[in-house]
Amino acid sequence: MATSNPPIEEMAQHTVTQWFQELQDKGISVSPSMSLREVTVNVIASLLDSLTRPNWQEAALLNLRVLRFLADQLNFPLEQSLEIFLRLRRHLVRGLAILLGDTVEAYNRVETVWDEGILRLAAHRQTATLTALDLAHQKYYALFEQASDSFLLIRMDESGTIVEANPAASQLTGYSLEELHGMSALALAPTEELEKYRDALFELRRTGQTRKMGIGLKRKDGMIVIVDLSATLLVLNGVAHALCIARDVTEQQRMQRRLESVVAHRTKELAQALERERHRAAQMTVLSQIAAEALEAVNEDAVYQVAAQALKEHLALYNVALFAYDKNQNELVLKSCKGAYEEVWSSKYRQSANIGLLGLAIRTGEPILANDVKHHPDYFQATPAEAATRSELVVPIKLHGEIIGVLDLQSEQEDAFDEKDLQMAQAVADQVAHALETISHFNHLRILQELNEQIVENLPHAVALLDEKGTLIIANEQFCQEVCRSPREAVIGRYWKEVIPEDLQRSIVANHHPPMEETISAAIKRRQDFFYPEIPYGNVWFDIRVIPIRGAQQNRVMIHIRDASLRVRRIYQLETLMAIAQAMESTFELNRLLHAILTAATAGPGLGFNRAILFLIDKSSQVLRTAMAVGSLTAEEAYATWARLAAERKTLWDFLREYPGDEAVRQTPLMQYVRDLEIPLDDSNLLSLCLSRREPIKVVNPFSEPRLPERLRALLGDSEAICVPLVAQEEWLGVIIADNAFSRHPITEEAERLLRLFASSASVTLRNAQLITELKEALEREQKIREQLVHSERLAAIGELAAKIAHDLRSPLVTIGGYARQLQRNLSDPQRVQRNVQIIVDEVERLERQLRDLLDFATPKPPNLQRLNLNEMIRRLAEIHLPSMEAAGVQLVIDLPPNPLFVLADEIQVERVVVNLLRNAVEAMPDGGILSVKVWSENEFVKISVRDTGIGIIPDELPHIFKPFYTTKSSGSGLGLAICKKIVDDHGGQIEVVSSVGEGTTFTITLPAAN
Amino acid sequence: MAKARILVVEDDDRQRQLYCEELLSAGYATLEARSASEAEELLSREQVDLIVLDINMPGVSGLELLPRIHELHPGLPVIIHTAYGSYRDDFISWLADLYIVKSPDAGNLIEAVEDLLNRQRKGTESGKGD
C-alpha cells in the first residue's frame, strides 16, 4: 500500500524545519526534502547500524531517543506517551540485547536498568494505596458502628440491594445484619408508601440528594415505624449507590403531636381570653355610656332605664333588672327591666325585701354571686317564667353607705359571672347611685367627671377617653405611666398623637395594621371599633382597642390598652421549641445547624437571650474552642439590629431558615471578638465545670467571676449569664453560654428551663450532624483512594499494553533489518537492491500504519459531523480499490439505492471504517471470491453491509474481534476493527458481524440518517 | 555430501523469504511452509534435516506443532525462531534443540543451524563408530 496518512504528513510539513534541525542536532542526517517515511527508514537503519558498534548501548540509546522524538512529533498522547514510551524503550532495549547476542549478561544489563521500572513502581503504589484504603475502611466502619442513626448503603440496581448496614439499622428494622446484607431495600417499604419511596428515588437520581420526612418503614415484625430518611448518591467502583440515613422519629412525632396539641390548647385559651377581653371592653362601653347619658337624664326613672338598657345591650345579658328599695315598706320596687323577663314583670312589680337573693343582698348589704342559683339556699323563684335562670348576680346600690336599691343580672348559663363582672356591676351600681344623686343635686358636669375618673382610675388596664377632636379628656394612671411614660399633666388636654409614643404608632403600622388616625377617625365618625392584637412595644406586647362611645352631644373614643406580654411569650415559647426541633431535624450541615441552635436561643421572645456563644470540644487537643457566636458585641449594635429586625417583622422560622453563609457568620464583630478562644478542659474554669457536672450554671456577675477566661469576663460584663452543657450519649460536645447584657433582664427560671430542654435536644442533633460530617469525609476519602487505585491499575494495564505494542512493532523491524543487511552485502545486484528497498519501504509503511492505528486509538478525535452522501462515497471508494481487488481475484458487487442516502458523519472516519472492512474482506479471500457492498435505508437509519465469501471467522473468535489488539492475522496491529467500532459508536451507530466458517463474513454498519 | 535440507516454517512471507535466502546463500537447501499444516504435510513426504519453526502463526501454532514433530520424527533437530522471548517460559519450547529470538542479522540463525547439524553428524558418526 502506498497511501500516506494526510494528517501526519501535513503536520510534518508544519513542523518540518523545526524538528529537522533537532534531528540534525542529534546527529541524524536529514534534509528538509526527505519524506517522513525516509526519515523513519534512516533512523531505523542508523539504529541497526549502531548495534554493531562496540559502544552499542550509547549508540542505540541515541537512536531510540530519536525514535521517541519522532513519536513525540507524531503527537503521541501526552499522558500515556511517557508511560508507553518508557515501556516501549524497555522492550526495544531488551530486544536489542537479544539482537546483540541473546546472552544472559546482555539481559541482565538491560534488566538491571529497567527492572526498577514502572511495574514495580506501580505495584508499590498499589500496595500503599491499599493500606490507605484499609485505614479509611476501618474509620468508615467505626463510624458506621457508632452512629445512632441507621445507615444503609444501597446499590441502585433493580431491587435496590442493601450492601452495607450498621447495627443501628439492624435495630431499627429488626433484621439481623446478615439478613440485611443482600436484601432488597424495597422489602422495607410499606405497600401503601411505595409511591413515596419512588418519589424519593426519582429525586435522588435527579438531584443526587433526597430527604423525606415522616416516611414509613416496615420492620421485620411487620410494625411500621416512622423515619426521617435522607439519602445521598454515591458512585462507588462505577456503580451508583445510595447512602441512606434513617432516623426513627416515631417518638419525636408523638412528642410533636403532643406539643401541637398543647399549642392548639393554648390557642383556644387565647381565643377565650380574647372573648373575655371583648366582653370587658363592652362593659367599659356601658360605663362610659351610663356616665355620658346620665348627663341627659332628667329624672330618676330615666337613670334606671338607661342603666338597664346599656347593660343589656352591651353585655348581652339574659335579663337585667334594677329595683329601688322602699325602706318603709321593706319592699323592692321594680324600676326597670330589660331582657327575657321584661314582659313577665309589670312595671308596678314589687316584692318583699325578705326573700330571695335580692332580699339577701338588702339584708347583708353585700353583692351576691350565684353561679348555680338552683342550689343557692336563698334562691327564690318569683314566677315560673324565671325557671330559665341559672346564674344571678345581685349588687346592692348604695349611696353614702345607705342601700337605695339593687342591680339584678341574670343569665341562662351556669358559671356566667366572675369576679370581674362583679366589680363591673358594682361600678355600675355605684354609677347609678351617683347618677341618682347627681340628678338630685342637678350638678351634672361635676359629677360626670368625678364618676368617669373614678371608674377609669380603678380599672386594671390603661384607659383614655378622647373627645371628638382627638384630645385626651381622661386618662388613667396606667395609661400615663405604662403607655405615654409621662406625668398626667403632660397628657390630659393634649392631642392623642402627641402623647401616644411614636414607636408604638410605628409598630402598629409595621405590623400591617391601619394607623391609629384611621381607626380613631372611624370610631368618631362611624362608631366603628377596632382591635390591634399583640402589638410589640419595647419588650412588651399590647392589645389595643379603639372603642367608640356615643354621647348625647358628642361622640367620644375610648382607647383601651392591655399588656399581653405574658400570653404572647408563652405561646411564642412553645412555637419556638417546635420550630427549633424542626429546624434541627432539617439539616445535617454542621455550620447551619450550629447557627440554628444559637439563633433559636437568641431570636424573638422564645428563649430571648441577647447573645449566645457556642464552644465545641476539640477532640484532638482536648480543649473547648469557639465554634460560633450569635448576637451583638456592643449595645449600639444590638439596638440597631433590634430596630432593623422589628421593622423586618420576621418569624423565628425565617431566622432559622436563613443561614447567612459561613463567611458572614465568621465576620460578625462578636465572632471576631471571641473567635480564637481556647479553654482547657479542667474544672478550674466554669465552662468545663458545667460540662463535668452536666448542669447549667448561672453566673450572676461574670465580670468578677475568676473561673471565666479574661476575655469572656470583659465581654459578658456585670449582667447575668448562663452556661448550659451539650452532652449526647455520655459524650461531651460543648457548652453554650448566653446572656442578656443589653436588655439587662434577669435570666428567669423559665428561660433557664427552656434553654436546658433545648440544649439536650440540640446535643443529640449536633452529635448526629458531627457523625454524618465525619462519615461523609471518610467516604470521600475512600472514594479518592479508590480512584488512585484505579489509576495505578490503569498504569499497570498501560504497561502490559506497551509490551504488546513493542512486540508488534518488532516484527516489521526484524524484516526491515534483515533486508537492509542483505542490501549492504548485495549492492552490486540491482535487482536485489530494487526488491529489498521495496520490501523495506512496504514494511516501514506497515510500521507506520500500526503506529497510526495506535495513535488513533489512543487519541480518538470526536467526529466532525457533516451531511455525507453515502452513495457517492461508496462509488468513489469502489473505484479506488477496484484494481487491487481485481488483482487479488476478488469480484466487487455494489448495490446502491436509486436515490442517494445521506448520513450525519465525519467523512474521513467513515471512509476509514469502510476501507478497513473492504481490506479485511479481501484478505479473508486469499483465493479470490465475491465482495458485495450494499447500502439501504431502514427507518431512521442508513445501513451499509460488506459481505465476503471468504474463510469466515470461527464462532469462538467472534466475540473478541472488536477488542483492541486482538488479531488472527500474522501481521496487523489488532486495532483495525477496534477503531471501526469506536468510530461507529462515536457516530451513535452500531457495527454487527455475522460469519460462518467456509462461507464468509458480513459486517453491517448502522448510522443515523441525516434529514 | 548432499546439501542439508532445512524446512522453514514461517507465516510471514517476507521473513520466510529473507531467512530462506540467507540459508540458501549459506549453502543449504530450503523447503518452505506457510503454516503448521503445510509443514506436517511436507514432512510426511520430504526428507528434512532440520526445522526452523516460528511460533506465532494463525491456526496451529509452532508450539502445538512441536510435540507432533517430536512424536512422528524423533531426533529431527528443531530451532524455534520467534520474535518473542517469552515463549521460553513455556515448557513445550524445551522440546526444541535451540531457541532463537528473531534478528535482522541471520548470522545467528545460520551459526545455530551449522552447530546443530555438526552435533547431529558427530552423534551419528560416533554412533557408527560404536
Which domain range does residue B92 map to? 5-129
- Name chain B contacts of A823, Cβ cutoff 8 Å: none
pLDDT digits (tens, 9 = 90+) for A623-682: 888 888 888 888 888 787 777 776 666 666 677 667 788 888 888 888 888 888 888 888
DSSP letters along B10-58, please? -S-HHHHHHHHHHHHHTT-EEEEESSHHHHHHHHHHS--SEEEE-S--S
Q: Which of A294-303, A594-603, B90-99 has the lowest mean pLDDT?
A: A294-303
CATH class of the domain whose range is A288-458: alpha beta
Is the pLDDT reported for residue A583 higher than 70?
A: no
Of B23, B99, B102, which to mutate for an interface test with A (greatest number of A Cβ within 10 Å)?
B102
Distance from CA of A32 to the nearest CA of B (A): 29
Nearest Cα to A687, choosing from A674, A697, A677, A700? A697
- Whether residue B101 and residue A821 make contact (CB cut-off 8 A), yes or no, is no
Is the pLDDT reported for residue A977 higher than 90?
A: no
- Tell me what the pLDDT averaged over chain A comes to: 75
Is the pLDDT reported for residue A699 higher than 70?
A: yes
> According to CATH, what is the number of the domain A148-248?
3.30.450.20
Q: How far apart are CA A159 and CA A468, in angstroms?
A: 79
- Those of residues 94-123 in B touching chain A at CB distance below 8 A are 100-106, 108
Q: Grid cell 465482495 — which residue?
A: A931
Q: What's the confidence (pLDDT) of residue B29?
A: 94
Contact A721, A680 (CB under 8 A): no
Q: For chain A, how many residues are written?
A: 1011
Domains A288-458 and A596-747 share a fold: yes
- Name chain A contacts of B104, Cβ cutoff 8 Å: 48, 99, 813-818, 820-821
- Those of residues 808-837 in A touching chain B at CB distance below 8 A are 810-811, 813-822
Could you give the maximum distance between any two Cα atoms of chain B, in Å?
44
Distance from CA of A926 to the nearest CA of B (A): 13
- Name chain B contacts of A821, Cβ cutoff 8 Å: 104-106
Nearest Cα to A431, choosing from A410, A468, A456, A409? A456
- Domain regions of chain A by residue span: 6-122+791-854, 148-248, 288-458, 596-747, 860-1008
pLDDT digits (tens, 9 = 90+) for A382-421: 777 777 888 888 889 888 788 888 988 888 888 878 877 7
pLDDT digits (tens, 9 = 90+) for A897-939: 998 899 989 888 898 899 989 988 998 898 889 999 999 998 8
Assign residue B19 the CATH number of its domain: 3.40.50.2300
Closest CB to A818: pick one of B11, B18, B56: B18
pLDDT digits (tens, 9 = 90+) for A980-1010: 888 898 888 999 999 998 899 999 999 988 8
Query: Does A6 or A130 have the greater pLDDT score?
Result: A130
- Those of residues 85-104 in A touching chain B at CB distance below 8 A are 94-95, 98-99, 102
- In CATH, the architecture of A596-747 is 2-Layer Sandwich (3.30)
Nearest Cα to A577, choosing from A112, A352, A893, A259? A259
Closest CB to A98: pick one of B15, B58, B85: B85
Q: Which of A463-477, A579-593, B55-69 has the lowest mean pLDDT?
A: A579-593
pLDDT digits (tens, 9 = 90+) for A30-57: 555 554 445 555 555 555 555 555 665 5
Using CB atoms within 10 A of its CB, is residue A69 exposed (0-12), middle (13-18) or buried (19+)? middle
- Name chain A contacts of B12, Cβ cutoff 8 Å: 811, 815, 970-971
**Residue A73: which residues within 8 A CB-CB, separation 6 or more?**
A11, A12, A15, A19
Query: Does A239 or A147 have the greater pLDDT score?
Result: A239
Does the structure's ipTM exceed the value 0.90? Answer: no
- Name chain A contacts of B22, Cβ cutoff 8 Å: 818, 822
- Name chain A contacts of B11, Cβ cutoff 8 Å: 970
- Whether residue A819 and residue B18 make contact (CB cut-off 8 A), yes or no, is yes
- Whether residue A970 and residue B58 make contact (CB cut-off 8 A), yes or no, is yes
| Average pLDDT rounded to a whole number, residues A283-291 | 61
Residue B37, amino acid: S
Phi, psi of A729 (to 5 degrees): 45, 55
| Average pLDDT rounded to a whole number, residues A784-799 | 69
Q: What's the confidence (pLDDT) of residue B83?
A: 81
- Name chain B contacts of A811, Cβ cutoff 8 Å: 12, 15, 83, 102
Nearest Cα to B112, choosing from A163, A409, A792, A102? A102
Residue A339's beta-bridge partner residues?
A319
| Average pLDDT rounded to a whole number, residues A700-728 | 87
- Summarize chain A as % helix, strand, coil (round to 5): 55, 20, 25
Q: What's the confidence (pLDDT) of residue A986?
A: 87
DSSP letters along A198-233, please? HHHHHHHHHHSEEEEEEEEEE-TTS-EEEEEEEEEE
User: What percent of chain B stands above pLDDT 70?
Assistant: 92
- Name chain B contacts of A814, Cβ cutoff 8 Å: 15, 83, 102-104
Q: How far apart are CA A769 and CA A761, in angstroms?
A: 13
Distance from CA of B123 to the nearest CA of A (A): 26
Phi, psi of A903 (to 5 degrees): -130, 160
- Whether residue B12 and residue A94 make contact (CB cut-off 8 A), yes or no, is no
pLDDT digits (tens, 9 = 90+) for A836-875: 888 888 888 878 877 777 777 766 678 888 898 999 999 9
Residue A291, amino acid: A
Is the pLDDT reported for residue B55 higher than 80?
A: yes
Q: State the fold for domain A860-1008.
A: Heat Shock Protein 90 (3.30.565)
- Whether residue B103 and residue A813 make contact (CB cut-off 8 A), yes or no, is no
Interface check for A954 against chain B (CB to CB < 8 A): the answer is no
CA dihedral A629→A634→A639→A641, nearest 10 degrees, is -40
Count Cβ atoms below 10 Å from residue B66 Cβ, excluding itself.
22
A703 DSSP 8-state letter:
G
The tally of domains found in chain B comes to: 1
